[in-house]
Structures are given as C-alpha cells and as structure tokens.
C-alpha cells in the first residue's frame, strides 16, 4: 500500500520494487537485447506544461508506408492502407478512452463511462464480452503485439476481437531502427500474417508502427527519468496513450496508474498473477507510469477510485 501511495504522488523508485522484479530489471539492463545506445541527457525536472509541449513537438505517430527498403522492393506500397493512421480522423476526436487490461479494472463499474467516449482503445486479446460492466463494449482501435499475429493460439485470423476495428501492430526492432535487420529477424514474424490480412481485408485500417516511433518514445521516457531505464521498448499501454494524445482532444486512461483496486492479477480476463504486469520487468513500465502521472490533469479522487488519468490531446495544447 505504501508503494501505491508513492506511485500516486510520483515519488517511487525501482529500489522500492520487490527483489525479484529488481533482479529481472538488472538482467534486462545488462542483456540490452535491442542494442540501445542512449545519446541524450537525463533531465528529470521539466514541468507539466514543458513536458506536454516537448511531447507534442517530438511525438509523430509513424507507421510503415512501404516506401523504404526492404518493404519498397517487396511491393508493400500498394498493400498498406492509403490513408495514414494520423489522418484517419483529420479533425481530431473529442474525447477518447484508453483501457488497460489490468486486473484492477475488475469490479470498477467503469463500463458505461468508458463507452461514453468518442473512441476507445484496447490492447491485444483483451475481451469485452462478459466484462461489459467494468470495461464497456465499444472498441475503436486495438493495439496488438507481434505475438498476437504470429501465435496461432490467439486466432488472429478468425477471432471477432480483431474485426471492425482499427488495428495497430508492433514488434521490437533494433534500436538502430535498421529495417533490413528487423525484417530478417523480428521478435515474432508479423510480416507474413500482416500481408495475408491486408490481402483478405483491404478495407480494414491496419498498420504496423515504425520502429523509429517506438524508440523515440523510449528516448523521451529516458530523458525525463533520473534512473537508468530498461533498454527495451515501452509497453503497448504507453504507446497507445501517445497515439491517442495525437488523435484526440482529451484522453482518459483507465487503470494504468493503479487505483485502490490494485492487484497482482495480471489481466482482468485471465487467472494469472504477476506483479511485473503492473510494475514492469521487460518494459520500462514503472518509469512510463511515473511520466504519465506527472502529466495527469484529472482529480486525485478519480486517480484513486477509477485509476483514471486525464491528459490533454496535442491539439488542445498552447505551446
Ligand atoms: O499485457 P498487455 O500488454 O496486453 O496489456 C496492455 C497494456 O496495459 C500493457 O502494455 C500495460 O501498459 C498495461 N497494463 C498495466 N497493468 C497490468 C496489465 C497491463 O498497466 N496489470
């Protein structure tokens, strides 16, 4: 509980995590699987308005457009959607919800509030059916990692979870964002199922995030954190929050910063317990959350009881 209070206040450090999580973090730090070489400087003193304007200036949602090698030579140009993700809603959506898959959302009764937003973002295989009261049933965008595409157990091809929504997929690439290296050796092969799906459903908006976008987000987290963060991509949750901040005038994020319902239950839809899901081991999740906590313009009551953070969209900022 003391940890939760400090997370709400933004005064936690990785030293306060349990020894197992600290050990996992140290392992990822030394392994540096993606060859991260941070060239920026760590300056954690920006104010909320400074941080928001910095984000607006630097965060440009980018997806594969098929114009760069190796994708250009592979004939991807006509295969990717004609309208870029950033232009799907050129005038911006008014109010958007980002619904984290955390176990803490169970018994929240947030469903109605979530569905009242103009657009709702969900992650991976998180269902709504059977959980409507707590998570709502509207889904506008779904962010999926490459495992969902590559692993047959997720039934990407035929599950209704992935139909009638905007799909945004991603996979950890080398920090160098060398697309040739990435194409040869993705974490999970998302390229083949992506192409198949584009051919079968050419009208469904379906994008793959550009590795430069993902690592740009990582750089921003590190620049604004005093401690050294894990050299691995940000979580889907953080990626989703920033995509919605560029598409909506206001973004309501649910159960990213845990509410009083905080639990080690990893996902609301799965009986699996692991504190790493909420606090991070592979992903620099704790630091992402501290950054998002600093940006919150919602009330403390909403944070504690709904696990809700309210963020301005980039278009709503005066920089
Ligand atoms: O586990 P999964 O990546 O599908 O969950 C989607 C996102 O929700 C995560 O990337 C993370 O940002 C967030 N999450 C969380 N706490 C949990 C589970 C998920 O903050 N217990």
Parse the chain into domains and list their residue ranges.
2-316
Alpha helix segments (H runs only) across 90-190: 111-115, 132-135, 146-150, 179-184
Ligand 1 within 6 A of CB of 215: no
| Binding site membership of 263 for ligand 1 (Cβ less than 6 Å) | no
CA distance 154 to 189: 14
Q: What is the number of other CB atoms lying within 10 angstroms of the CB of residue 166?
A: 21
The string of pLDDT tens digits covering residues 164-206 is 999 999 999 999 999 999 999 999 999 999 999 999 999 999 9
Tell me the pLDDT band of 57, cut-offs 50, 70 and 90: very high
Average pLDDT over residues 125-147: 98
CB 259 within 8 A of CB 108: yes
Which residue, 145, 144, 95, is CA-closest to 308?
Answer: 95
Percent of the chain with pLDDT strictly greater than 70: 100
Reading the block at residue 44, the tokens are: 């954690």
* Residue 319 Cα to ligand 1 middle (Å): 31
The residue whose C-alpha atom lies closest to atom 18 belonging to ligand 1 is: 102
Regarding the beta carbon of 125 and ligand 1, being less than 6 Å apart is answered no
- Mean pLDDT, the chain, rounded, equals 97
Q: pLDDT at position 1, please?
A: 80
- Ligand 1 midpoint to CA 209 (Å): 18
Question: Would you say 239 and 291 are in contact if contact means Cβ atoms under 8 Å apart?
Answer: no
| Confidence band, pLDDT 50/70/90 cuts, at residue 20 | very high
**CA dist., res. 312 & res. 10, Å (int):** 19
Is the shortest distance between the CB of 277 and ligand 1 below 6 Å?
Answer: yes
* Alpha carbons 136 and 133: distance in angstroms, whole number: 6
Say what the ipTM of the complex is. 0.99
pLDDT surpassing 90 at residue 123: yes
Residue 44 reports pLDDT greater than 90:
no
**Looking at the predicted structure, is the pLDDT value of residue 90 above 90?**
no
Q: What is the pLDDT of residue 271?
A: 97
The reported pLDDT for the residue numbered 92 is 84
Question: Of 287, 293, 289, whose CA–CA distance to 28 is shortest?
Answer: 287
Q: How far apart are CA 285 and CA 52, in angstroms?
A: 19
Q: Is the CB of 259 under 6 A from ligand 1?
A: no
Q: What are phi and psi of 270, to 5 degrees?
A: -150, 135
Residues sharing a CB contact under 8 Å with residue 113, sequence separation 6 or more, in sequence order:
136, 306
Q: What is the dihedral of CA 304, 116, 205, 88, to 10 degrees?
A: -100
With cut-offs at 50, 70 and 90, classify the pLDDT of residue 80: very high
Helix axes 236-247, 285-295, angle to 10 degrees: 30
DSSP string for residues in 269-317:
TEEEE-THHHH-SSS-HHHHHHHHHHH--S-HHHHHHH-EEEEE-GGG-
Could you tell me if the CB of 236 is within 6 A of ligand 1? yes
- How far is ligand 1, taken at its centre, from the CA of residue 250, in Å? 21
Residue 102 has pLDDT above 90, yes or no: yes
Instruction: Report d(CA 114, CA 205) in Å as an integer.
Output: 23
Give yes or no for residue 100 CB within 6 A of ligand 1.
yes
For ligand 1, whether the C-beta of 313 sits within 6 Å is: no
Which atom in ligand 1 lies closest to the alpha carbon of residue 235? Answer: 10
The band of 110, judged by pLDDT with boundaries at 50, 70 and 90, is very high
Ligand 1 center–CA 22 separation, angstroms: 19
DSSP percent split of the chain into helix, strand, coil, nearest 5: 40, 15, 45
Q: Which CATH code is given to the segment(s) 2-316?
A: 3.90.1480.20
With 80 as the cut, is the pLDDT of residue 140 above it?
Answer: yes
């Amino acid at each position: 509980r003391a940890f939760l209070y400090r997370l709400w206040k933004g005064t936690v450090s990785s030293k306060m995590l349990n020894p197992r999580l600290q050990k996992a973090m140290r392992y990822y730090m030394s392994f540096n699987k993606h060859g991260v070489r941070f060239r920026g400087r760590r300056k954690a003193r920006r104010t909320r308005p400074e941080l928001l304007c910095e984000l607006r200036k630097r965060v440009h949602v980018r997806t594969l457009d098929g114009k760069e090698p190796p994708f250009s030579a592979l004939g991807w140009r006509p295969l990717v959607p004609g309208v870029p993700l950033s232009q799907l809603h050129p005038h911006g959506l008014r109010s958007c919800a980002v619904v984290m898959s955390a176990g803490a959302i169970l018994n929240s009764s947030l469903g109605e509030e979530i569905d009242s937003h103009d657009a709702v973002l969900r992650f991976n295989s998180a269902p709504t059916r059977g959980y409507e009261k707590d998570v709502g049933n509207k889904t506008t965008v779904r962010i999926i990692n490459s495992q969902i595409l590559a692993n047959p157990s997720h039934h990407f091809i035929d599950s209704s979870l992935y139909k009638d929504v905007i799909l945004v997929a991603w996979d950890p690439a080398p920090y160098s964002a060398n697309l040739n290296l990435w194409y040869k050796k993705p974490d999970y092969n998302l390229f083949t199922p992506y192409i198949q799906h584009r051919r079968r459903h050419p009208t469904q908006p379906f994008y793959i995030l550009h590795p430069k976008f993902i690592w740009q987000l990582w750089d921003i987290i590190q620049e604004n954190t005093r401690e050294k963060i894990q050299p691995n991509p940000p979580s889907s949750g953080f990626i989703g929050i920033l995509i919605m901040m560029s598409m909506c005038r206001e973004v309501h994020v649910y159960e990213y910063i845990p509410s009083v319902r905080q639990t080690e239950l990893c996902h609301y839809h799965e009986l699996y317990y692991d504190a790493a899901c909420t606090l991070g081991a592979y992903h620099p999740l704790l630091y992402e959350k501290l950054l998002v906590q600093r940006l919150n313009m919602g009330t403390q009551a909403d944070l504690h009881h709904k696990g809700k953070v309210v963020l301005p969209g980039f278009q709503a900022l005066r920089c």
